[in-house]
A and B are shown apart, each in its own frame.
Chain A
Amino acid sequence: MTSFTLTMKRIIFGIFIIAVMTLTAVFAPLVAPYDPLEMDLSPEGRLKPPSPEHFFGTDNLGRDVFSRMLYGARISLSVGFIAVIISVCIGILLGGLSGYYGGRVDALIMRFVEVMYCFPTFFLIMMVITFLGPSIVNVMVVIGLTSWPGLCRLVRAEFLSLRERDFVSSAKVQGIPDRRIIFRHILPNAMAPVYVSATLSVGAAILVESALSFLGLGVQIPRPSWGNILTAGKNYLDYAWWLTFFPGIAILLTVLSFNLVGEGLRELLDPRLRKRK
């Protein structure tokens, strides 16, 4: 087991990277040196390597890659967060109902979760996007609607053990309505694994979004996203490494940071893990 200080260092590193990414994404119009859509088709303007004028070089249409990546970060991060918010809401609601009421409600919801597990998620997303048409909203919603089953099981497991606790009986004895017991008494005590899982899911959602955009199913060109900058760059791998290198690094760093924070939180919040250090 890693030591407390190392865990803290990881969390701080992760939060730092996420904060930098988020800030630059939010303030993209102020930070970006160029318009991400402005082209320079002259032979000198295209595929320029990184330089003080263009930190990350320019692409095949002479657009500034650094500026495009800043705007791309907006897409990637908002997809990550919104998809996870959707999935956390569904997961908590269904997991909570399932764990609290048990019996038939539980059986029904759990069979539904198992059905959801049966689908290869990524192909399901691709199929839905193909039918509904690629758009950033569709991507967020579809990722959100397909990524909740794991969280649902976690929440259910927490509820199953918490509902037997005395303070829940005590609340029942006082005549507190079920809705309040679920959301005010049990849920706050069940949140630790939710935080961990949600943080890890943000990284995963960003990865899925990048993959979809890479395949042309996510953000549509000319709007930039990390995934479609990569796509554009793959044809020039031999002589314009910066087109694929920087978006790749950005995706890697972001996903890594969310994973570091998630794993760190897991170690901090789980007393069983803490004891073993």
Chain B
Amino acid sequence: MDTTLRIDSLTVDIGPGRVIDGISFEVAEGRILGLVGESGSGKTMTALAVLGLLPEGAVIRSGQVLLKGNDIVPMSPEERRRLRGKKAAMSFQEPFTAFNPVMRIGEQVTEAMRAHGMSRAGAEKRLAELSRMVKLSPGICRHYPHELSGGERQRMMIAMALSCGPDLLILDEPTTALDVSVQKHILDLVSELQRRKKFSVLFITHDFSVVNKIADDVAVMKEGRIVEKGSKDKVLKAPGHEYTRKLIGCIPRLGDTRKRLPV
């Protein structure tokens, strides 16, 4: 099986602190990898490293980030910009703040396609397709972000991320800011699109129940290290690491009589 993304002993420092400590994992072609871990475990940093968008002061000490076999670490900022959106795209946790408040939604989505060399007419046409793809009426594109609901914005964000047909879609806690029923719709949508379009997904979350629903493979991250990785069934059914067991123990179940969840 080919790999879309392979991270090889990647180490990232911010100042004296080590935020990512020699992690290695891969996202196979056409599969969904759930990257799980608590806040501050380095999940988002990993995503930003893949996109070459680490914050100021963050330094890649060693390792490789191979996107479709090309290492992005030694690339120039302009080369990385060209890859973003086209090869790897990302959608953010907060659908409320991830759109420019003074620009129409449709414009923001077409802008991404235009930045990668699509014609205006082509982008407009694709925009209508994209909005139907995420099950919204194309009319929604004429609205400003504040006029849309959280779920609608999250869908448009996924549409925007998919606009240039990336090989890898990074979803950073896409459901955290949404209520449970909308969460389910978004998860269903992601898995449906993924089956149809065959892209790979790096799904970042802290919630094992979400992983259970959507992922094929799982990697568990703690304090900048990958403590466990493998297929979903293997990790969920027979967790090998103490931390994974704790995380799985935190999924609340209906009818659970315990007063407190184990921490």
Contacts and interface: CB of A to CB of B under 8 A. Distances in A.
Contacts of B163: 174
Interface string B80-93: 01111110011010
Nearest to B163: A174
Contacts of B103: 184-185, 188
B100 A171 contact: yes
B84 A175 contact: yes
A176 B90 CA distance: 13
A174 B101 contact: no
Contacts of B10: none
Nearest to B97: A166
Interface stretch (B33-41, B111-119, B209-217, B235-243): B111-119
B8 interface: no
Contact of A172 (B53, B56, B111): B53
Contacts, number: 71
A210 B134 CA distance: 61
A116 B20 CA distance: 44
A256 B85 CA distance: 51
A175 B115 contact: yes
Contacts of A185: 100, 103
B84 A174 contact: yes
Contacts of B203: none
A103 B82 CA distance: 24
B100 A177 contact: no
A165 B100 CA distance: 9
Nearest to B86: A175
Contact of A167 (B51, B81, B85, B100): B100
B193 interface: no
Nearest to B84: A175
A170 B53 CA distance: 11
25 contacts: A102-B56, A103-B56, A166-B98, A167-B97, A167-B98, A167-B101, A169-B53, A169-B98, A170-B157, A172-B53, A173-B90, A174-B84, A174-B85, A174-B112, A174-B164, A175-B82, A175-B84, A175-B116, A176-B112, A176-B115, A184-B111, A185-B103, A188-B102, A188-B103, A189-B101
